[in-house]
Chains A and B, each alone.
Chain A
Amino acid sequence: MEFSYEVEGGNFAKAGNAASGVKKVLKQLNVDPKIIKRIVVALYEGEVNVVAHAYKGNVLVDIDTNRIYIKIVDEGPGIPDIDLAMQVGYSTASAMVREMGFGAGMGLPNMKRNADIIDITSKVGEGTVVELTTKLTS
């Protein structure tokens, strides 16, 4: 099964739409709630990152019987130093993002913690691609 969701940069009202949709699908597939939580928390953090930092983005979700693959692609400023961005507490988020309850430099590390495999590629001035793969059975 494949699904696709648009994410608007700056639009916090819609952050979480993709994660919410994916959660409903995984529940219908009777995936263990603990695994569902890991997947949707990682995706939600990813959506918030796109809203907080990029101009626009797209979430592609591919689910098969064994695993879920999520690709978050954005057009945005990109990440100059991915190792630095992975450090807990490092953030370039604006005051607006902080008012929304985020921007503490925890997003990418939390995504890593909640995915089996995470791949991040980024080009400064173009955008970022985050790929998350997680097994659906423990």
Chain B
Amino acid sequence: MASSFKIRKIAELLDARVVCGEQFVDNEINYAFASDLMSDVLTLESEQLVLITGLTNMQTVRTAEMADINCVVFVRGKKVTPEMIEVADENNTVLIECQYSMFRTIGVLFESGVNPIY
């Protein structure tokens, strides 16, 4: 049985900043997936997923839109651009900036009980 986490909790665990979609932080996520390759993200079938990535460009936000991903965590201190926020806003996507490395981010979430997809 998958345990679910509020997006707010994810941000707290990672000591990270919600930069877009603050009004959706009480929505729940069931799984996490980490990748800088959007092609892999586009093959996933899971729902209520948080994507963890170091890839900061429009394609990340577009991929989230097409794949019905409602929360993206950008790791390694990467900054989200105003254009990305515009598209994310339109699609009710929560964007989070995190200072941790991808390894640490994943480690913290995994240890806290966030489920992998596979």
Contact = CB atoms under 8 A, between A and B. Distances in A.
Interface of A: 12-13, 15-16, 19-20, 23, 33, 37, 40-41, 44-45, 48, 100-104, 106-107, 110, 113
B66 interface: yes
A interface SS class? helix
Contact of B66 (A41, A104, A107): A41
A44 B60 CA distance: 12
A23 B66 contact: yes
A19 B36 CA distance: 21
A107 B39 contact: yes
- Please classify the interface of chain B as helix (H, G, I), strand (E, B), loop, or mixed, using the class held by over half of its residues: helix
B60 to A, nearest CB: 7
Contacts of A37: 66-68
Given A100-B59, A101-B59, A110 B65 contact: no
A101 B43 contact: no
B65 A101 contact: no
B17 interface: no
Given A44-B42, A110-B39, A110-B43, A102 B59 contact: yes
